[in-house]
Structure 1
Amino acid sequence: MPSEPGKTKFQIDLRAHLREQNISDNLVHLICEIAEASKYVINAVRTGDLGVAGTSNLYGEEQLALDVLSDRIMRKRLIHSGVVCNIASEEMEEIYQVTSNPQGMFSVAYDPLDGSSLVDVNLAVGTIVGIYQGCDLLQPGRKMVGAMYILYGPRVSLVYSIGKGVYEFTMNQLMEFTLTKEDVQMKPSGDIYAPGGLRKKYTEENERFIRHLEDKGSKLRYSGGFVPDINQVMMKGKGIFMYPALTDSPNGKLRLLFELNPMAYLIEQAGGAATNGKIPILDIVPDGLDQRAPVYIGSREDVEKAGEFLNGHA
């Protein structure tokens, strides 16, 4: 990758890097606007109210004040970006239409602060974003033109892809995102696993798969936050995250549009895989904003092995 004169590749900032990727100016602008919004979200995380907001989202879940504030920050930035026609947020009940003219525009689905209930115990949380060309948000994730997450941990990192590999940027002391890893790659198999959900509610097939992972020596590494757990698998380049169907929740917990599609896009771009146990996450056609799905995501061979157990072939 070419670098600016006098700069190493790890001094390249996000905007300069994006301009080298041969994408539209509007897409460059959109990704940079989301990155700018994240600076206000991390400030809210560090200093904001940890209480409840007294409202609920479209799933009937009580919203935290940080959820509402983070959503407001992200939505306002997207509305005023000038390049977005439709917005869907996990904290909004319906799609917000910015403009009916899709020419050169994008639609964005996002979870403004995934894992917000972990903030009061000082664990890592994050923002998840999926980007689509035009105004249609209810289409398979494989139609996305880009995806990203921002992890608010000991360091703030931004991981993105526009279908040309996966790149990690880290926020420096000037609150600028500079390149730290390029062409992130997953190994075929790993030795860590992050299992979500209450294990006593696992189906027998999932229980057998967990025992298989334990028998091969995989270590349990689960924080309770989707963004930090996926980031761990991605940056270590190995392992599997799963939130399966439970006996009382056959569709699992995680939302297709706001959480699973962007992460599946990123993991696939890094050479990994993501399925619901039967088909790739990115091939699922969403039937609404609130659709959920089980997920097995990470190293390709581990994800394929999960499918074998689930479908009785192991």
Structure 2
Amino acid sequence: MKPTALSRYLIEAQHQGHINADLRLLLEVVARACKTISSAVGKGALGDVLGDAGSGNVQGEAQKKLDVLSNEILLEANEWGGHLAGLASEEMEHAHAIPSSYPRGNYLLLFDPLDGSSNIDVNVSVGTIFSVLRCPDGVTEPRDEHFLQPGSAQVCAGYTVYGPSTILVLTFGRGTHMFTLDREQGSFILTRSDVQVPEDTREFAINMSNQRFWQAPMQAYIRDLLAGKTGPRGKDFNMRWIASMVSEVHRILTRGGIFMYPTDNKDPSKAGRLRLMYEANPMGFILEQAGGACSTGRGRMLDVMPEGLHQRIPVFLGSRNEVAEAERYHLNHDHGSA
């Protein structure tokens, strides 16, 4: 059978009534931008893209050169196509309006242009995460508040992981699918359709250096995982940690696992480390569509009503039964039964 390119896959989805023409064209534009970012990542030091940019983003974090470049690539590629009413980026404080000289569409695009960028200089996989929402009816000049929709309202979500191969993972609510970039042809080719995450796992991913800051239910949950076969869980677990959410989630999609960044007391002003709109919601949507689960530790993440464009949230993603187990520890503690 002839390999299916992303463009053909999207056209067929449109013919089947699963997406409309505007969403198809929007996804093709995002995919082209990701190919450009992939090329820049692949050049590394040869392209003078390593190291700090000498600037900070809205969260006060130091930006890498590739953070800035990736953000510019996605903005430039998407603002003139006529498919969007507005954009929002993790790297910018407020939503970005479509210039008045360009046509406008009915979608809102949110993105983390380069997730895991702290790994750039040591040649570890990084990625791009994106989410698509509908612009509210009657809104012609979308502002920050118009992006504040729950994850369950997402029309589409995806990520690209720039690793030994460049892989685009995509869902528009009808399963989760993987496309691998054929560098010779310059096209994303469907390589896995209807990905399914195993319901059970013996693998977890968490930043153990923060353990001393965790809340009591999280301490108890990890303690029981580490107890292994002789502990209450009755089996041994392996731990993984890459410090790139895209890479962590991609591993889970490939072979199962649970990824966690819980609430801690390290910085009381932050409810969690990861951003709801740019990271947690799109990854949660992707994993749910692959048979996995997403939670804040105390409920379904995609049901959370956002309060701010850069809101942070505790995150539990991955194999359905293990996410439920982590959630059980938190809920039992809250109810005084732990």
Note whether the superposition's TM-score is higher than 0.5: yes
Query: 1:104-119 to 2 correspondence within 5 Å?
Result: 104-119=105-120
Structure-1 residue corresponding to 2:253 = 234
Deviations 1:193-231 (A, max 9, x none): 101362222222112111222322121111111000000
Match of 1:17 among 9, 13, 22: 9
Structure-2 residue corresponding to 1:223 = 242
- Does structure 1 conserve the Cα–Cα contact (< 8 Å) formed by 2:151 and 2:303? yes
How far apart are 1:307 and its partner, in Å?
1.0
How far apart are 1:50 and its partner, in Å?
1.2
Structure-1 residue corresponding to 2:206 = 195
Deviations 1:229-271 (A, max 9, x none): 00000111x2100001112235120000100000000001111
- Does structure 1 conserve the Cα–Cα contact (< 8 Å) formed by 2:79 and 2:99? no
Of 251-260 and 188-197, more deviation after overlay is shown by: 188-197
Distance in 1 between residues matched to 2:29 and 2:103, nearest whole Å: 19
Query: 1:139-154 to 2 correspondence within 5 Å?
Result: 139-154=149-164
Of 148-157 and 51-60, more deviation after overlay is shown by: 51-60
Structure-1 residue corresponding to 2:61 = 61
Distance in 1 between residues matched to 2:113 and 2:95, nearest whole Å: 15
Structure-1 residue corresponding to 2:165 = 155
Structure-1 residue corresponding to 2:37 = 41
Structure-1 residue corresponding to 2:176 = 166
How far apart are 1:129 and its partner, in Å?
0.2
Number of equivalenced pairs:
305
Structure-1 residue corresponding to 2:264 = 246
Structure 2 SS opposite 1:147: strand
Name the TM-score, length of structure 1 as normaliser.
Answer: 0.93
Please list every run of 5 or more consecutive structure 1 residues that lacks an aligned counterpart in the other structure. Answer: 1-6
Distance in 2 between residues matched to 1:45 and 1:126, nearest whole Å: 10
Larger Rg: 2
Distance in 2 between residues matched to 1:130 and 1:91, nearest whole Å: 15
How far apart are 1:104 and its partner, in Å?
4.8
Please list every run of 5 or more consecutive structure 2 residues that lacks an aligned counterpart in the other structure. Answer: 136-141, 229-234
Detail structure 1 runs of 4+ shifted over 3 Å in the superposition: 99-104
Match of 2:190 among 143, 167, 179: 179
Structure-2 residue corresponding to 1:27 = 23
Structure 2 SS opposite 1:160: strand
How far apart are 1:289 and its partner, in Å?
1.2
Of 276-285 and 43-52, more deviation after overlay is shown by: 43-52
- Does structure 1 conserve the Cα–Cα contact (< 8 Å) formed by 2:133 and 2:153? yes
Q: C-alpha root-mean-square deviation of aligned residues, in Å?
A: 1.7
Structure-2 residue corresponding to 1:310 = 330
From the superposition, tell whether residues 78 and 103 of structure 1 become closer, same or farther in structure 2 (CA, over 3 Å): closer
Report the identity percentage. 38
Of 215-224 and 298-307, more deviation after overlay is shown by: 215-224
